[in-house]
Amino acid sequence: IILELKLYIYVVFTIMQYSTPVFHKAISDSTSVRAALPGKVKIVEVGPRDGLQNEKTIVPTEAKINLIDMLSETGLPVIEATSFVSPKWVPQVRGISRRPGVSYPVLTPQPEGIQAAVKAGASEVAIFGAASELFSKKNINCSVDESLQRFDEVMIAAKEAGVPVRGYVSCVVGCPYEGKVAPEKVAHVMAKRLYSMGCYEISLGDTIGVGTPGSMSEMLLAVSREVPVSALAVHCHDTYGQALANILVALQMGVSVVDSSVAGLGGYVIYMLHGLGIKTVRKTSSKVAQATCKL
């Protein structure tokens, strides 16, 4: 699978490298389609964690470190490095070459994880909540309320350690067990709580990619009433090919932070943003391509 993906991404990026300068053109006039678009979008690279987590083949630590180091060269401001679900992932964070100005958040679902992460050198952590009760039970083995209590403890530990915390909400438009998820649930039960607990940013995840521009905007409308849109990010999965369209509506609603994966749609996201005249990273996606190929 990785080989196929590698070839596919390499082909796409080679083409993009060749043609992007020819076709990119700054648009000067604004219309209802472009009126509310942010001038700059922060890309949060989740490939090394969320991306690799779902790969069947276990990728060796050295390869992961290489990937993260290459991504650090691309100008991406945030690269999610790994997940402290088990102590055996500690070597990864120690091994990377940190680039100044780049943040390397790590997932820490438990308070104990914070100490281990900080010891290993993590300077930012992330916590994962679910908007769906069933998903919470099946994924992290506890109810939504119990998970929020755990997060309270994680937040205290993080504050003591002086590390910022990013909050993730999964199943924001649909759940593999419960089906459609009510926008109010996402807004009140999770997003608002995580934000008021002290998360500096809330990433709203369409975990199974079932969202469409309709359900996406409905959910964002409800959440943006509780959390300022400047603190929101979208984490769209492309299972049904809807990710870019969903990211576009999120941008039109004022969201300016997009999670994407180098091994997924990262290149296409950057292509769309640049085509809209939105600034993202400093360097071209050729570096991103090289990073993927080495994998």
Partner 1 sequence: MGNVPTTVKHCLSYEQLLENCPWLRRWLQEEKTIKAHEYPDFVKIVEVGPRDGLQNEKEIVPTGVKIQLIDMLSGTGLSVIEATSFVSSKWVPQMSDHTEVLRGIQRAPNVRYPVLTPNMQGFQDAVAAGATEVAVFGSASETFSRKNINCSVDESMLRFKEVITLAKGQHIPVRGYVSCALGCPHEGHIDPSKVAQVAKSLYEMGCYEISLGDTIGVGTPGSMCEMMQTVMKEVPVSALAVHCHDTYGQALPNILTALQMGVRVVDSAVAGLGGCPYAQGSTGNVSTEDVLYMLHGMGIETGVNLAKVVEAGDFICNFLCRKTNSKVAQASSKTL
Binding mask 200-239 for partner 1 (x = CB under 8 A): x--------xxxxxxx-xx--x--xxx----x------xx
Query: Would you say 12 or 85 has its CB closer to partner 1?
Result: 12
Query: Would you say 24 or 94 has its CB closer to partner 1?
Result: 24
Using CB under 8 A as the binding criterion, the count of chain residues that bind partner 1 stands at 59
Output the smallest distance, CB 92 to partner 1, in A: 27
C-beta separation of 287 from 74 below 8 A: yes
Query: Would you say 65 or 243 has its CB closer to partner 1?
Result: 243
Q: Which of 95, 111, 121, 275 binds partner 1 (CB under 8 A)?
A: 275
Query: Would you say 62 or 196 has its CB closer to partner 1?
Result: 196
Q: Which of 106, 236, 272, 295 binds partner 1 (CB under 8 A)?
A: 272
C-beta separation of 228 from 168 below 8 A: no
C-beta separation of 156 from 125 below 8 A: no
- Comparing CA positions, the residue from 172, 166, 247 lying closest to residue 202 is 166
> Chain centroid to CA 202: how far?
10
Please report where in the chains the tokens 């438009």 appear, as a residue. Answer: 173
Q: Which of 145, 160, 240, 283 binds partner 1 (CB under 8 A)?
A: 240
Q: Which of 36, 87, 145, 177 binds partner 1 (CB under 8 A)?
A: 36
Query: Where does this chain touch partner 1 (CB under 8 A) — which range of 87-95, 117-125, 249-257, 286-294?
Result: 249-257
**Cα separation, 242 vs 48, whole angstroms:** 22
Binding status of residue 282 toward partner 1 by CB under 8 A = no
Binding mask 119-158 for partner 1 (x = CB under 8 A): ----------------------------------------
Q: Which of residues 162-191 bind partner 1 (CB under 8 A)?
A: 164
In degrees rounded to 5, what are phi and psi of residue 227? -125, 130
Binding mask 75-114 for partner 1 (x = CB under 8 A): ----------------------------------------
Chain residues that interact with partner 1, rule: CB under 8 A: 8, 11-12, 15-16, 19, 22-23, 25, 27, 29, 31-34, 36, 159, 164, 192, 195-198, 200, 209-215, 217-218, 221, 224-226, 231, 238-242, 244-245, 247-249, 252-254, 265, 268, 271-272, 274-277
